[in-house]
Amino acid sequence: MAAAGDLYFVQLPVGEMANLAYLIGSRSAREALLVDPAWSVDALLDRAEADDMRVVGALVTHYHQDHVGGEIFGMSIEGLARLLARAPVPVHVQASEAEGVRRVTGVSASDLVRHEGGEEIALGGVRVRLLHTPGHTPGSQCFLVESEGGPGRLVSGDTLFLDSCGRVDLPGGDPEAMFRSLDGVLKRLPDETILYPGHRYAPEPSSTLGAQKRSNPYLRAASLEQFLAFLGY
């Protein structure tokens, strides 16, 4: 658990695809949001309860089954449906991702709260800014977590990994949109921002954006042409 003023922040490995889920909240309010609840929903909720935190909502980075639950590769992954059965909370999604989330999870449209990029959710003294970062999927979003007493924390889902970025060759993927999201949105965040990805594909579980701007070839790309070349296009 991270200690930075009012911020409650927990990174938790889940599932069989090196996924990382997160609990983000306010210690003073004793409220938390659960990011990408999948694979081990009861364990995630139990962790919040053990920390004396009440889960008041879910944040979804994108609609793929390993992040929200559903059927994939012959597996049945628990996710939003299990969360809502145990804790009927609002599920915050990017507006253009809502139909995909509903389709793969089977949850009701009324369970989803649709957001546009730039909107914020506040818990106590903690603010979560929703950044629309299409590329991996049309409605992918990252969460910039800000509070007093510490650097910003970027929960990036499958948009940005340590020394890599999300795939753009799946349905809905768009390499040009990914370049704009990385170069025009995430690369502009302060160097001290701490990056927390949606999968642990590197030895370390997190990094600073400053370090990634130096080492990650997809952030270093100075043009769309160079970015596409890194992707092999």
Locate 140 and state its tokens. 């992918």
State residue 4's pLDDT score: 53
Q: Is the pLDDT of residue 15 over 60?
A: yes
Residues 191-211 have pLDDT tens digits of 999 999 999 999 999 999 999
**Average pLDDT score over residue span 110-120:** 97
User: 7-231 maps to which CATH number?
Assistant: 3.60.15.10
Residue range 29-69, pLDDT digits in tens? 999 999 999 999 999 999 999 999 999 999 999 999 999 99
Domain ranges, ordered by start, for the chain: 7-231
Range 147-168 average pLDDT: 96
CA distance 25 to 31: 6
Distance CA 101, CA 94 (A): 10
Percent of the chain scored above 70 by pLDDT? 98
pLDDT at residue 149, rounded to an integer: 82
Rounded to two decimals, what is the model's pTM? 0.96
d(CA 39, CA 65): 10
3-state SS string over 136-167?
A: CCCCCEEEEEECCCCCCEEECCCCEECCEECC
pLDDT of residue 48: 98
Indicate the SS3 state at residue 131.
strand
Is the pLDDT reported for residue 3 higher than 50? no
Q: Which of 151, 134, 152, 135 is nearest to 143 (CA)?
A: 152
Burial letters for 111-143: b for 16+ Cβ neighbours within 10 Å, e otherwise? bbbbbebebebebbbbebbbbbbbbbbbbbbbb
